[in-house]
Amino acid sequence: MKFGPVPRESALGHILAHSEQGAQGKIPKGKVLTAEDLAALSHLAELTTAELAPGDIPENEAAALLAKALLPDDPGLALTPPHAGRVNLTATRPGILALDPAEVLALNRLDPALTLATLPLHARVSPGTLVGTVKVITYAVAGDSLAEALLRAPKLRILPVTRPSACLILTSTVTPDKLLQKGRDAIARRLARLGMTLTETHRLPHDEQAIAEAIAGSSADLILILTGAATSDLYDTAPQALRRAGGHVQRFGMPVDPGNLLFLGSLGATPVIGLPGCTRSPALNGADWVLERVACGLQVTDDDIAAMGVGGLLKEIPIRGQLREKP
């Protein structure tokens, strides 16, 4: 592509690089100039234009082709029509974003004219959420560059929820009913954002046997436990209750704040998440990241949780009893 100033009379069929005021109104940048346009711009001796070379692909065509190449079968994503070299990718279902960051990096290194910006890996989305955008920076891109990009295009997909129902076990010591209800409502809203349903709620004393019986008796796809007394050890009441029910505790604690006091385990094939007290607030916390991945069928490993430490210092939640910093 050749870019720069040219005599107005030589600009027929070129792309106008900058908007200009014509005799009948503004002629927008990016327009392919016609004879009528050049007549309307007769007051200008020269124009800054982009002239395509053989093999160049115009920005809208290139953006549409690249965006389409990003979609595997059943992506859970829709594409907007190309405009000004841009195509947006929007979610069509609730879930979390799956992609390979290394592949996105590789694409963005091919040619500065071809760009892909996305939400972070495993970002939670709802229908209509803007997930990514393809933008062709210049008015056209070399065909060879686009061909390489199409071959190496990463695949983006919204992982749907595979565990649609959840059981919530709430325990209390001296916890007021109002606080129990607040926790229940906040968690129900989290589940609803994912398209999940809270099918069971148990309000129990903070007792190992009572919790174990509720765990063992649940038929939900996912079990959540929010205790009135914070879990403070791998062998505290709620983790021990899971073991008593015949389950396994995989991990206690995570390097995300708020959210440190989470535990993760399972009862057979059913995941069990011990929620930290900060989940009574609707604000983002570490439990959200674990809950969303588990709900969408991902195995959350110790390494996955350890890696959450980078970016894991989240906004403070004022309702917490012990804030990180004194006001």
d(CA 57, CA 39) in angstroms, rounded, equals: 27
The values of phi and psi at residue 137, to 5°, are -70, -40
What percentage of residues in the chain have a pLDDT greater than 70?
A: 96
Mean pLDDT of 89-100: 98
Phi/psi region, residue 114 (left: phi>0; alpha: psi -120 to 50; beta: rest), is beta
Q: What does the pLDDT look like over 32-61, one tens digit per residue?
A: 999 999 999 999 999 999 999 999 999 999
pLDDT number for residue 177 = 77
pLDDT number for residue 182 = 92
Give residue 318's pLDDT band: very low, low, confident or very high (50, 70, 90). Answer: low
* Domains contained in the chain, CATH given: 2-51 (3.90.105.10), 56-159 (3.90.1170), 165-307 (3.40.980.10)
Mean pLDDT of 302-310: 98
Q: What does the pLDDT look like over 248-300, one tens digit per residue?
A: 999 999 999 999 999 999 999 999 999 999 999 999 999 999 999 999 999 99
> Does residue 126 surpass a pLDDT of 70?
yes
Whole-structure pTM value: 0.91
pLDDT number for residue 250 = 98
Mean pLDDT of 10-36: 96
Give residue 130's pLDDT band: very low, low, confident or very high (50, 70, 90). Answer: very high
> Does residue 175 surpass a pLDDT of 70?
no
> Does residue 131 surpass a pLDDT of 70?
yes
Three-state SS letters, the chain: CEEEEEEHHHCCCCEECCCEEECCEEECCCCECCHHHHHHCCCCCEEEEEECCCCEEEHHHHHHHHHHHCCCCCCCEEECCCECCEEEEEECCCEEEECCHHHHHHHHHHCCCEEEEECCCCCEECCCCEEEEEEECCCEEEHHHHHHHHHCCCCCEEECCCCCEEEEEEEECCCCHHHHHHHHHHHHHHHHHCCCEEEEEEEEECCHHHHHHHHHHCCCCEEEEECCCCCCCCCCHHHHHHHHCCCEEEEECCCCECCCCCEEEEECCEEEEEECHHHHCCCCCHHHHHHHHHHCCCCCCHHHHHHCCCCCECCCCCCCCCCCCCC
Q: What does the pLDDT look like over 135-169, one tens digit per residue?
A: 999 999 999 999 999 999 999 999 999 999 999 99
Average pLDDT over the chain reads 95
The values of phi and psi at residue 37, to 5°, are -60, -45
CA torsion, ordered 23, 28, 29, 31, to nearest 10 deg: -90
> Does residue 323 surpass a pLDDT of 60?
no
Which amino acid would we find at residue 202? H
> Does residue 319 surpass a pLDDT of 90?
no
